[in-house]
Amino acid sequence: MIHFFRKHAVFTWALSVLLSFVILIGFMVIGDSDGISILSYCVTNLMLCFFLYAVSGKKTFERCGSQMGYVLKNGWPMLIFPFIFFAAGIVGAFTNGARLNTDWPIRLGTCIILMMLAGISEELGYRAVACDSLLPKLRHTRHPFLYTAVISGLVFGVSHVILGGLDGWLSVVLGILKICTTAVFGASMMILYWKTRNVLAIGILHGLYDLLPMVYDYLFMTETVAETAGYTGGDMGSLVIYLIQLAVDVFVLRYIYRKVGTTINYQQVLENW
Protein backbone atom coordinates (compact mmCIF):
# COMPACT_ATOMS: atom_id res chain seq x y z
CA MET A 1 0.00 0.00 0.00
CA ILE A 2 2.82 2.42 0.91
CA HIS A 3 4.45 1.69 -2.46
CA PHE A 4 1.19 2.51 -4.27
CA PHE A 5 0.73 5.81 -2.42
CA ARG A 6 4.35 6.81 -3.04
CA LYS A 7 4.15 5.95 -6.73
CA HIS A 8 0.91 7.90 -7.14
CA ALA A 9 1.83 10.80 -4.84
CA VAL A 10 -0.47 13.41 -6.39
CA PHE A 11 -3.43 11.06 -6.06
CA THR A 12 -2.35 10.44 -2.46
CA TRP A 13 -2.41 14.18 -1.71
CA ALA A 14 -5.85 14.56 -3.30
CA LEU A 15 -7.09 11.60 -1.26
CA SER A 16 -5.69 13.10 1.95
CA VAL A 17 -7.52 16.38 1.29
CA LEU A 18 -10.78 14.54 0.56
CA LEU A 19 -10.49 12.37 3.68
CA SER A 20 -9.75 15.47 5.78
CA PHE A 21 -13.11 16.88 4.72
CA VAL A 22 -14.85 13.57 5.35
CA ILE A 23 -13.42 13.30 8.85
CA LEU A 24 -14.16 16.90 9.84
CA ILE A 25 -17.70 16.84 8.43
CA GLY A 26 -18.32 13.46 10.03
CA PHE A 27 -17.38 14.76 13.45
CA MET A 28 -19.49 17.90 12.86
CA VAL A 29 -22.50 15.61 12.47
CA ILE A 30 -21.73 14.13 15.88
CA GLY A 31 -21.57 17.56 17.55
CA ASP A 32 -20.14 21.05 17.41
CA SER A 33 -18.37 21.27 20.77
CA ASP A 34 -14.72 22.16 21.13
CA GLY A 35 -14.03 18.69 22.46
CA ILE A 36 -15.45 17.10 19.30
CA SER A 37 -13.43 19.51 17.16
CA ILE A 38 -10.22 18.64 19.02
CA LEU A 39 -10.91 14.94 18.54
CA SER A 40 -11.60 15.42 14.84
CA TYR A 41 -8.31 17.26 14.33
CA CYS A 42 -6.42 14.58 16.24
CA VAL A 43 -7.83 11.93 13.89
CA THR A 44 -7.17 14.14 10.85
CA ASN A 45 -3.57 14.77 11.89
CA LEU A 46 -2.90 11.07 12.38
CA MET A 47 -4.32 10.37 8.93
CA LEU A 48 -2.23 13.14 7.34
CA CYS A 49 0.92 11.91 9.09
CA PHE A 50 0.33 8.50 7.55
CA PHE A 51 0.00 10.00 4.06
CA LEU A 52 3.04 12.20 4.63
CA TYR A 53 5.07 9.13 5.53
CA ALA A 54 3.58 7.32 2.54
CA VAL A 55 4.78 9.94 0.02
CA SER A 56 8.17 10.91 1.49
CA GLY A 57 9.11 8.52 4.25
CA LYS A 58 10.85 9.82 7.37
CA LYS A 59 12.51 12.85 5.74
CA THR A 60 9.99 15.48 6.83
CA PHE A 61 9.47 14.01 10.30
CA GLU A 62 13.22 14.08 10.93
CA ARG A 63 13.24 17.86 10.40
CA CYS A 64 10.50 18.66 12.91
CA GLY A 65 13.03 19.34 15.67
CA SER A 66 15.17 21.77 13.70
CA GLN A 67 15.00 25.51 12.99
CA MET A 68 11.91 26.14 15.11
CA GLY A 69 13.33 29.50 16.17
CA TYR A 70 14.20 30.36 12.56
CA VAL A 71 10.60 29.87 11.44
CA LEU A 72 9.17 32.00 14.27
CA LYS A 73 11.87 34.66 13.90
CA ASN A 74 11.32 35.11 10.18
CA GLY A 75 7.63 34.30 10.06
CA TRP A 76 6.44 36.76 12.72
CA PRO A 77 5.10 39.32 10.16
CA MET A 78 2.41 36.78 9.31
CA LEU A 79 0.90 37.50 12.73
CA ILE A 80 0.45 41.24 12.07
CA PHE A 81 -3.09 41.00 10.69
CA PRO A 82 -4.51 38.62 13.35
CA PHE A 83 -2.75 40.64 16.07
CA ILE A 84 -4.75 43.70 14.98
CA PHE A 85 -7.95 41.76 15.68
CA PHE A 86 -6.55 40.48 18.96
CA ALA A 87 -5.61 43.99 20.13
CA ALA A 88 -8.92 45.49 18.98
CA GLY A 89 -10.85 42.80 20.85
CA ILE A 90 -8.94 43.24 24.11
CA VAL A 91 -9.14 47.04 23.98
CA GLY A 92 -12.84 46.85 23.14
CA ALA A 93 -13.45 44.45 26.01
CA PHE A 94 -11.96 46.78 28.61
CA THR A 95 -13.57 49.85 27.03
CA ASN A 96 -17.02 48.26 27.08
CA GLY A 97 -16.60 46.66 30.48
CA ALA A 98 -16.85 43.09 29.20
CA ARG A 99 -16.66 40.46 31.92
CA LEU A 100 -14.23 37.56 31.94
CA ASN A 101 -15.71 34.08 31.79
CA THR A 102 -15.44 32.45 35.21
CA ASP A 103 -13.77 29.44 33.58
CA TRP A 104 -11.59 31.47 31.21
CA PRO A 105 -8.38 29.49 31.90
CA ILE A 106 -10.06 26.28 30.74
CA ARG A 107 -11.65 28.03 27.77
CA LEU A 108 -8.38 29.66 26.74
CA GLY A 109 -6.48 26.38 27.12
CA THR A 110 -9.07 24.63 24.98
CA CYS A 111 -8.80 27.36 22.36
CA ILE A 112 -5.00 27.08 22.26
CA ILE A 113 -5.13 23.29 21.83
CA LEU A 114 -7.82 23.53 19.15
CA MET A 115 -6.09 26.23 17.11
CA MET A 116 -2.69 24.52 17.30
CA LEU A 117 -4.16 21.23 16.13
CA ALA A 118 -6.01 23.02 13.32
CA GLY A 119 -2.88 24.90 12.24
CA ILE A 120 -0.75 21.75 12.22
CA SER A 121 -3.50 19.91 10.33
CA GLU A 122 -3.62 22.48 7.54
CA GLU A 123 0.16 22.67 7.27
CA LEU A 124 0.38 18.89 7.09
CA GLY A 125 -2.23 18.69 4.35
CA TYR A 126 -1.61 21.80 2.27
CA ARG A 127 2.12 22.29 2.71
CA ALA A 128 3.89 19.07 3.72
CA VAL A 129 1.88 16.39 1.90
CA ALA A 130 1.20 18.81 -0.97
CA CYS A 131 4.82 19.80 -1.47
CA ASP A 132 6.24 16.32 -0.92
CA SER A 133 3.78 15.02 -3.52
CA LEU A 134 3.91 17.81 -6.12
CA LEU A 135 7.52 18.95 -6.10
CA PRO A 136 9.07 15.60 -7.18
CA LYS A 137 6.46 15.30 -9.94
CA LEU A 138 7.12 18.84 -11.18
CA ARG A 139 10.92 18.81 -10.85
CA HIS A 140 11.40 18.65 -14.64
CA THR A 141 9.13 21.61 -15.36
CA ARG A 142 10.45 25.13 -15.81
CA HIS A 143 9.18 26.51 -12.49
CA PRO A 144 8.51 23.57 -10.14
CA PHE A 145 8.46 25.64 -6.94
CA LEU A 146 6.11 28.26 -8.38
CA TYR A 147 3.73 25.62 -9.72
CA THR A 148 3.77 23.76 -6.41
CA ALA A 149 2.99 26.94 -4.46
CA VAL A 150 0.20 27.99 -6.84
CA ILE A 151 -1.50 24.59 -7.02
CA SER A 152 -1.37 23.92 -3.28
CA GLY A 153 -2.32 27.53 -2.49
CA LEU A 154 -5.38 27.48 -4.72
CA VAL A 155 -6.56 24.14 -3.32
CA PHE A 156 -5.96 25.53 0.16
CA GLY A 157 -8.03 28.60 -0.67
CA VAL A 158 -10.89 26.73 -2.34
CA SER A 159 -11.11 24.36 0.64
CA HIS A 160 -12.01 27.34 2.84
CA VAL A 161 -14.98 28.43 0.75
CA ILE A 162 -16.23 25.20 -0.83
CA LEU A 163 -18.76 24.58 1.95
CA GLY A 164 -19.95 28.19 2.03
CA GLY A 165 -23.01 29.27 0.12
CA LEU A 166 -22.89 31.80 -2.70
CA ASP A 167 -25.72 34.29 -2.52
CA GLY A 168 -25.28 37.25 -4.84
CA TRP A 169 -22.30 39.12 -6.28
CA LEU A 170 -20.91 40.17 -2.90
CA SER A 171 -20.75 36.58 -1.72
CA VAL A 172 -18.88 35.60 -4.90
CA VAL A 173 -16.40 38.46 -4.50
CA LEU A 174 -15.82 37.58 -0.85
CA GLY A 175 -15.22 33.97 -1.84
CA ILE A 176 -12.68 34.98 -4.50
CA LEU A 177 -10.89 37.31 -2.09
CA LYS A 178 -10.79 34.57 0.56
CA ILE A 179 -9.20 32.20 -1.93
CA CYS A 180 -6.63 34.86 -2.85
CA THR A 181 -5.73 35.78 0.73
CA THR A 182 -5.47 32.13 1.73
CA ALA A 183 -3.32 31.29 -1.31
CA VAL A 184 -0.93 34.19 -0.59
CA PHE A 185 -0.75 33.15 3.07
CA GLY A 186 -0.02 29.60 1.93
CA ALA A 187 2.77 30.80 -0.36
CA SER A 188 4.52 32.45 2.59
CA MET A 189 4.23 29.23 4.59
CA MET A 190 5.50 27.22 1.63
CA ILE A 191 8.68 29.32 1.44
CA LEU A 192 9.34 28.63 5.12
CA TYR A 193 8.70 24.95 4.49
CA TRP A 194 11.15 24.83 1.57
CA LYS A 195 13.80 26.44 3.74
CA THR A 196 13.36 24.30 6.86
CA ARG A 197 11.06 21.38 5.97
CA ASN A 198 9.82 21.76 9.54
CA VAL A 199 6.06 21.21 9.29
CA LEU A 200 5.67 21.35 13.08
CA ALA A 201 7.17 24.85 13.24
CA ILE A 202 5.01 26.27 10.47
CA GLY A 203 2.02 24.47 11.99
CA ILE A 204 2.59 26.28 15.29
CA LEU A 205 2.97 29.59 13.44
CA HIS A 206 -0.29 28.87 11.62
CA GLY A 207 -1.92 27.97 14.94
CA LEU A 208 -0.90 31.33 16.39
CA TYR A 209 -2.36 33.03 13.31
CA ASP A 210 -5.70 31.31 13.93
CA LEU A 211 -5.54 31.74 17.72
CA LEU A 212 -5.12 35.50 18.08
CA PRO A 213 -8.51 36.57 16.63
CA MET A 214 -10.27 33.92 18.74
CA VAL A 215 -8.90 34.90 22.16
CA TYR A 216 -11.60 37.51 22.86
CA ASP A 217 -14.47 35.06 22.40
CA TYR A 218 -12.93 32.53 24.77
CA LEU A 219 -11.86 35.00 27.45
CA PHE A 220 -14.93 37.21 27.71
CA MET A 221 -18.64 36.61 28.00
CA THR A 222 -20.22 36.79 24.56
CA GLU A 223 -23.48 35.50 23.17
CA THR A 224 -21.75 33.06 20.81
CA VAL A 225 -18.24 32.02 19.93
CA ALA A 226 -17.23 33.62 16.67
CA GLU A 227 -17.67 31.39 13.65
CA THR A 228 -14.78 31.12 11.20
CA ALA A 229 -16.38 29.02 8.49
CA GLY A 230 -18.72 31.57 6.89
CA TYR A 231 -16.08 33.11 4.65
CA THR A 232 -18.50 33.90 1.83
CA GLY A 233 -21.01 35.63 4.10
CA GLY A 234 -20.72 39.27 5.09
CA ASP A 235 -21.32 42.86 4.09
CA MET A 236 -19.27 45.69 2.60
CA GLY A 237 -17.33 45.86 5.85
CA SER A 238 -16.18 42.28 5.25
CA LEU A 239 -15.13 43.27 1.74
CA VAL A 240 -12.95 46.08 3.09
CA ILE A 241 -11.39 43.75 5.68
CA TYR A 242 -10.57 41.17 3.00
CA LEU A 243 -8.96 43.82 0.81
CA ILE A 244 -6.84 45.05 3.72
CA GLN A 245 -5.92 41.48 4.59
CA LEU A 246 -4.90 40.76 0.99
CA ALA A 247 -2.69 43.86 0.93
CA VAL A 248 -1.05 42.84 4.23
CA ASP A 249 -0.59 39.24 3.07
CA VAL A 250 1.08 40.37 -0.17
CA PHE A 251 3.41 42.63 1.83
CA VAL A 252 4.25 39.75 4.17
CA LEU A 253 4.86 37.38 1.23
CA ARG A 254 7.26 39.90 -0.28
CA TYR A 255 9.05 40.25 3.06
CA ILE A 256 9.38 36.49 3.60
CA TYR A 257 10.57 35.93 0.04
CA ARG A 258 13.26 38.58 0.43
CA LYS A 259 14.21 37.41 3.93
CA VAL A 260 13.96 33.65 3.43
CA GLY A 261 13.20 32.81 -0.19
CA THR A 262 16.30 34.50 -1.58
CA THR A 263 18.52 32.41 0.73
CA ILE A 264 17.23 29.07 -0.61
CA ASN A 265 19.38 27.08 -3.03
CA TYR A 266 16.43 25.88 -5.07
CA GLN A 267 18.45 23.56 -7.28
CA GLN A 268 19.98 21.87 -4.27
CA VAL A 269 16.60 21.58 -2.56
CA LEU A 270 15.15 20.05 -5.72
CA GLU A 271 17.97 17.49 -5.97
CA ASN A 272 17.80 16.47 -2.31
CA TRP A 273 14.06 16.64 -1.69
For residues 93 and 141, give the distance between their C-alpha atoms in angstroms, rounded to a whole number.
52
Output the average pLDDT for the chain.
Answer: 92
CB atoms within 10 A of CB 108: 16
Q: What's the pTM?
A: 0.93
CB half-sphere exposure, 27, CA atoms < 13 A: 18
pLDDT in tens, 18-51: 999 999 999 989 988 999 999 999 999 999 999 9
Give 223's pLDDT tier (boundaries 50, 70, 90).
low
Q: Residue 256: pLDDT above 70?
A: yes
Report whether 132 contacts 10 (CB < 8 A): no
Give 228's pLDDT tier (boundaries 50, 70, 90).
very low
Q: What sign results for the dihedral spanned by CA atoms 62, 67, 69, 74? A: negative
CB burial class (10 A; 0-12, 13-18, 19+) of residue 24? middle
Mean pLDDT across 147-173: 89
pLDDT of residue 230: 64
Three-state SS for 220?
Answer: strand
pLDDT of residue 70: 97
Mean pLDDT across 74-86: 95
Tell me what percent of the residues of the chain surpass a pLDDT of 90.
Answer: 80
Q: Residue 4: pLDDT above 70?
A: yes
Of 126-140, 191-205, 215-229, which range is least confident?
215-229
Mean pLDDT across 204-229: 80
pLDDT of residue 225: 44
Q: Residue 168: pLDDT above 90?
A: no
